[in-house]
Structure 1
């Protein structure tokens, strides 16, 4: 049986993710996102880990602040499902934006650590 994960571990990983996003820290994002990640972004497009990392590498997406609020967090053995609403301020293609989003993320524990394997985000 796989090792179980705790709510505290997921909250810690979420906080690492927010910090990596606001700092455009590619190394930490590389570590936290699973190689086979699939994510539906607010536009409805499906992106992969490489597409997501590219937006940070080339500066297309710059996030200045994230104000998260956890709405739900369920642990299912070696996986977690988290729903977070967050206010995000930043810029996309050098155009400033401020918006409220709701995300669902799926975290899974692997030998090399806990990683995001999928999720989706919508504007609210």
Structure 2
């Protein structure tokens, strides 16, 4: 399996974990040193992200992707993807298209998201 094929599989696992709120999978897929800029502009860590799912603050109802581009250099892969998302964050419904950038790093023979950002698009 090529690195790009591996990243596609990890991306699928990540989307499923987000949709189902699978804390164990998120813990495995997110790097301990994760920093991520969410669409509000806030920077979150792995601990903050997982706690949002664990506490029920973040609930994903629907998520799908399109227009994915992957660029790989040695043990780092960068993914740019359009995401349709319907979710609830705190008491606010979020629905729309977002453009995400995720940086995957190969660590101990497994890929983990170490950085990223997301913005809402029209």
- TM-score, normalised to structure 2, is 0.94
The residue that corresponds to 1:108 in the other structure is 105
Where does residue 55 of structure 2 map in the other structure? 58
Q: In 2, Cα distance between the equivalents of 1:98 and 1:48?
A: 23
State the alpha-carbon separation in 2 of the partners of residues 98 and 84 from structure 1.
16
Q: What is the number of residues matched between the two proteins?
A: 120
Distance in 2 separating the partners of 1:83 and 1:54: 25
Moved >6 Å (runs of 4+) = none
What is residue 21 of structure 1 aligned with on the other side? Answer: 18
Determine if the alignment matches structure 1 residue 9 to structure 2 residue 27: no
Output the aligned Cα RMSD: 1.1
Stretches of structure 2 lacking an aligned partner (at least 5 in a row): none
Aligned to 1:79: 76
Q: Which residue of 2 aligns with 1:93?
A: 90
Instruction: Tell me how far 1:108 sits from its aligned partner.
Output: 0.7
TM-score (norm 1): 0.92
Answering whether residue 82 of structure 2 is matched by residue 48 of structure 1, we say: no
- 2-structure distance, mates of 1:95, 1:48: 21
